[in-house]
């Protein structure tokens, strides 16, 4: 049991999900909240590998944030097959216990009773853990993706009842009865809602999360209320308190990613809205034939480009592509993406539709070509293509040369592209207004700070 202390200064235990782009945004928000409330102590828990990765680029944490490593769930002597699902499964199975032990340690060391659990929303056991600690500890989870993806998990039971049976026959049906989803199809949903392996640990985690979140004291999201008021209102009606605090990088700009490969000086020499920026996020690499198709389309249309592509994937580019396009574009292993998308020379973003990338492209005002892969990406792509109309979903779902040429022409040369740029500019203006001093996200951030920094009851 956590040893209670007499100290009633607030102590927030922050529980990070150590895979994908989850832990880094939670650490940034913790950093920001710690600066807003210097008398609140924040203990940040992650696995050793995740912590060492995110802390390497966050070297100036305030003194009231202390990171702790917790067990990653790997039994001694365990031989991994190299499958990330397996690593995730072991972590998820041990997470509740690992975090409890970490929290006990932090309480011992700090002499402060925990007053609030701020966790990744994936940790469905947050409420239970807060109750175990006792003393009215609040559970305040963070949903790292978009509001529509959150909605798909809150409505999972309803969706499963509505589409019981062989869902493969109904994958083009619209989810019209869910607020905000009238253009979303069953096949756009994340795996684990109604198709995919519903019995996998990951799917079960998301299902339990959807059931648990309405019990949380507040849920905060890296989005802004004005992006889609239908979702905003519906989430407010389903959750006790729903705080949109984004785009967070406008409220608290992250440490600059160094421009190691000279993207910005290169962009300075290009024409207005002419460049294609290509990135499929931190983890996804399209299949070799898709890389070839994209390379051929760029070359065919002579579109200037910056392509963020891991060195080990370059071998799949067509023979001679790097040489023949050396004055047309640059292929680099990592780009200062937010800065690139904010450059006036960038005219289109070819993306896997990860949520952080989408917020960054909205802030940059750049229309997108969507090639989603898994998780919330198809849903994000549908919102972009059919609801917000700020981009196109690649025809046929995979990168093919002719389809890519059509997309480039549409966005870079035709009236459609101009209209998309106009709509994305309107969203950008709404994002800027939300994060201005009196904007909705700034207000919500102050409310979040007030909530998590309340002393123990
Ligand atoms: N990113 C970057 N440089 C790159 C590729 C990606 O800085 O070359 C950043 C990007 O700005 C975003 C994050 O990596 O903040 C990717 O997050 P997202 O949610 O879009 O996708 P994920 O990596 O989680 O699939």
* pLDDT per position as a tens digit, 227-281: 999 999 999 999 999 999 999 999 988 777 899 999 999 999 999 999 999 999 9
22 tagged catalytic: yes
**Residues 267/339, Cβ–Cβ less than 8 Å:** no
d(CA 388, CA 240): 27
Sign of CA pseudo-dihedral 20, 280, 426, 257: positive
Distance 21 CA to ligand 1 centre (A): 7
- In this prediction, residue 58 carries a pLDDT of 80
Tokens 């989603």 correspond to what residue? 372
Q: If we measure between CA atoms, which residue out of 392, 426, 361 comes closest to residue 227?
A: 426
Token reading at 94: 């041990």
With DSSP H G I counted as helix, E B as strand and the rest as coil, what are the percentages for the chain, rounded to 5? 45, 15, 40
Provide DSSP, 321-344: HHHHTTTTEEEES---HHHHHTST
Provide DSSP, 118-178: EEETT-TTHHHHHHHH-TT-EEEEEE-S-HHHHHHHHTHHHHHHHT-S-GGGGTT-B-TTS
Give, using CA atoms, the residue closest to atom 6 of ligand 1.
281
- In this prediction, residue 165 carries a pLDDT of 78
pLDDT of 425 over the 70 cut: yes
**Residues 387/356, Cβ–Cβ less than 8 Å:** no
Distance 279 CA to ligand 1 centre (A): 8
Tokens 């945004």 correspond to what residue? 25
Ligand 1 pocket residues where CB is under 6 Å: 20-21, 257, 279, 281-283, 308, 334-335, 337-338, 354-357, 360
Mean pLDDT for 322-339 is 97
d(CA 220, CA 242): 6
Distance 12 CA to ligand 1 centre (A): 27
Q: If we measure between CA atoms, which residue out of 108, 105, 109, 118 comes closest to residue 26?
A: 118
Structure confidence at residue 8 as a pLDDT band (50, 70, 90): low
Of 120, 188, 217, 376, catalytic: 120
Mutation test of ligand 1: which of 354, 360, 378 has the most ligand atoms closer than 8 Å to its C-beta? Answer: 354
Domains located in the chain, CATH noted: 11-254+438-451 (3.40.50.2000), 263-434 (3.40.50.2000)
Is-cis flag, bond preceding 247, omega within 30? Answer: yes
pLDDT of 12 over the 70 cut: yes
For residue 333, give the ligand 1 atom closest to its CA. 8
Q: How many CB atoms lie within 10 A of CB 240?
A: 12
Q: What is the pLDDT of residues 128-173, one digit of tens each?
A: 999 999 999 999 999 999 999 999 999 999 999 998 877 888 999 9
């Amino acid at each position: 049991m956590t040893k209670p202390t007499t100290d009633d200064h607030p102590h927030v235990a922050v529980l990070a999900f150590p895979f994908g782009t989850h832990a880094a945004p939670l650490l940034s928000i913790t950093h920001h909240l710690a600066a807003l409330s210097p008398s609140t102590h924040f203990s940040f828990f992650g696995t050793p590998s995740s912590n060492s990765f995110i802390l390497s680029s966050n070297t100036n944490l305030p003194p009231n944030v202390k990171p702790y490593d917790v067990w990653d769930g790997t039994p001694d002597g365990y031989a991994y097959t190299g499958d990330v699902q397996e690593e995730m499964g072991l972590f998820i199975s041990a997470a509740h216990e690992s975090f409890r032990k970490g929290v006990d340690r932090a309480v011992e060391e700090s002499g402060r009773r925990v007053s609030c659990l701020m966790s990744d929303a994936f940790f469905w056991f947050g409420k239970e853990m807060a109750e175990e600690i006792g003393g009215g500890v609040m559970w305040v989870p963070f949903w790292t993706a978009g509001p529509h993806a959150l909605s798909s998990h809150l409505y999972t039971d309803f969706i499963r009842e509505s589409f019981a049976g062989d869902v493969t026959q109904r994958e083009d049906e619209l989810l019209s009865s869910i607020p905000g989803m009238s253009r979303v199809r069953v096949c756009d949903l994340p795996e684990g809602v109604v198709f995919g392996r519903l019995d996998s640990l990951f799917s079960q985690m998301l299902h339990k999360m959807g059931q648990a979140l309405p019990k949380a004291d507040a849920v905060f999201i890296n989005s802004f209320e004005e992006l889609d008021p239908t979702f905003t209102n519906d989430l407010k009606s389903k959750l006790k308190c729903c705080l949109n605090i984004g785009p967070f990088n406008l409220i608290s700009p992250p440490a600059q990613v160094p421009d190691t490969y000279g993207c910005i000086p290169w962009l300075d020499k290009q024409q207005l809205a002419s460049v294609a920026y290509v990135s499929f996020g931190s983890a996804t690499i399209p299949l070799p034939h898709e890389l070839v198709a994209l390379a051929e389309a760029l070359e065919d249309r002579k579109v200037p480009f910056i392509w963020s592509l891991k060195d080990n994937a370059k071998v799949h580019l067509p023979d001679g592509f790097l040489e023949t396009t050396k004055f047309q574009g640059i292929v680099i292993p990592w780009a200062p993406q937010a800065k690139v998308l904010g450059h006036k020379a960038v005219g289109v973003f070819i993306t896997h539709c990860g949520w952080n990338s989408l917020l960054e492209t909205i802030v940059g005002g750049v229309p997108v070509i969507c090639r989603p892969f898994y998780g919330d990406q198809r849903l994000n792509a549908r919102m972009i293509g059919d609801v917000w109309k700020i981009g196109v979903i690649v025809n046929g779902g995979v990168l093919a040369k002719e389809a890519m040429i059509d997309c480039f022409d549409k966005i870079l040369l035709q009236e459609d592209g101009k209209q998309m740029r106009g709509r994305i500019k309107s969203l950008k203006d709404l994002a800027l207004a939300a994060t201005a001093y009196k904007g909705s996200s700034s207000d919500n951030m102050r409310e979040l700070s007030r909530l998590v920094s309340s002393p123990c009851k």
